[in-house]
Amino acid sequence: MLRTFICAVFALMLTFGVAMADVVKGKVKSVDADKNTITVTVDGADKTFTVAKDAKLALGKKVKELKDITAGAEVELTTDKDMVKEINRVKKPK
């Protein structure tokens, strides 16, 4: 009985953690690698995000670090409490 309760609580916490993550799509305006920030234009407004030092960058083979991201790139940011955890390239429809 206790094991079932603990598993249920763990599943609830895991679901809540995933639900807190937010996805933002936009165009890169600028990157400040020294401050670990990225500014993205979303719906016509610029928004600056702090990028976690261990953030996953899935933008292609040429992008190894935050400083390698170029302005104008279409990106999708996965954030958790206003901290970017992952940056992905937005695939354009064919």
Is residue 43, in this structure, part of any structural domain at all?
Answer: yes
On the question of pLDDT at 68 being above 60, the answer is yes
Distance of alpha carbon 50 from alpha carbon 33, whole angstroms: 10
Is residue 3, in this structure, part of any structural domain at all?
Answer: no
Is residue 35, in this structure, part of any structural domain at all?
Answer: yes
CATH of the domain at 28: 2.40.50.320
**Is the pTM here over 0.75, yes or no?**
no
On the question of pLDDT at 58 being above 70, the answer is yes
Q: How many domains does the chain have?
A: 1
pLDDT in tens, 6-34: 767 776 666 555 555 788 999 999 999 99
Its sign, for the CA torsion 58, 18, 54, 74, is positive
Which amino acid would we find at residue 56?
Answer: K
Is residue 17, in this structure, part of any structural domain at all?
Answer: no
**What is the residue range of 44's domain?**
22-89
Is residue 45, in this structure, part of any structural domain at all?
Answer: yes
Is residue 13, in this structure, part of any structural domain at all?
Answer: no
Element housing 37 (H / E): strand 37-42
HSE, side-chain direction, 13 A CA sphere, residue 38: 35
Is residue 2, in this structure, part of any structural domain at all?
Answer: no
User: Which residues, at least 6 apart from 80, have a Cβ–Cβ distance to it below 8 Å?
Assistant: 20, 21, 22
Q: How sure is the predictor about 39, in pLDDT bands with cuts at 50, 70 and 90?
A: very high
State mean pLDDT over 71-88: 90
